[in-house]
Structure 1
């Protein structure tokens, strides 16, 4: 980094920060919130229970799931109605793969921000 740039950052603790989303058709659709929702659906077996744990309405959770399914083009959440246990939901193998990819991408992004932040010291 040039000396002038270093001088700009000499009077404080600066760091590079950012958020990471995957976009489809120009729309942010996969990031921290949808990942958490999918993981909670897997954990609880219920879109409604996952939504409650996140402090969001069932309607909002269902909108996120619908948008994921629409943009990705295959079901991210598989729902079952009725039955002995009253139905439930689980995530698809494609959802698991997308979560794994996102988590790996997020780790690489974290390392990039860390490296760039060190340049500001």
Structure 2
């Protein structure tokens, strides 16, 4: 992972029951939605398939509803798709991030140029 050229804000949600949802899991859901496969999503994100599968299982458990549904290979070739619940969570997470960034843009900028009066 390369360092950002300017300060960035990322949000992690600590869920009831101890689970977490943040930029990594959001990116995994986005990649699964785009590619239709946990395996392809994992490869695109530079993670192993077992790690991606474990994250999907954790999200399904943490939210109490399936976010990703997978079908085994066969005539249709298998694959994975997001549920409506996953699309809703992705939208809410994206909106939370956008609103937080918009509201705190000026404060975030101060991390680029800390006050040097000390």
Q: Which has the larger radius of gyration?
A: 1
Q: Which residue of 2 aligns with 1:98?
A: 89
CA distance in 2, matches of 1:100, 1:76: 13
The answer to whether 1:34 aligns with 2:22 is: no
TM-score (norm 2): 0.79
Q: CA deviation at 1:27?
A: 3.5
Note the 1:1-121 alignment, pairs <5 A. 18-25=9-16, 27=18, 29-117=20-108
Structure ranking higher on relative contact order (CA contacts 8 Å, 6+ apart)? 1
User: CA 1:41–1:17 in 2, change beyond 3 Å: closer, same or farther?
Assistant: closer
CA distance in 1, matches of 2:47, 2:62: 22
CA distance in 2, matches of 1:23, 1:117: 22
CA distance in 2, matches of 1:96, 1:47: 16
CA distance in 2, matches of 1:84, 1:117: 51
User: Structure 1 regions of 5+ residues with no counterpart?
Assistant: 1-14
CA distance in 2, matches of 1:96, 1:35: 10
Q: CA deviation at 1:85?
A: 2.6
Q: Is the helix fraction higher in 1 or 2?
A: 1
* Of 44-53 and 25-34, the range deviating more from structure 2: 25-34
TM-score (norm 1): 0.77
How many residues get paired? 107
RMSD: 2.3
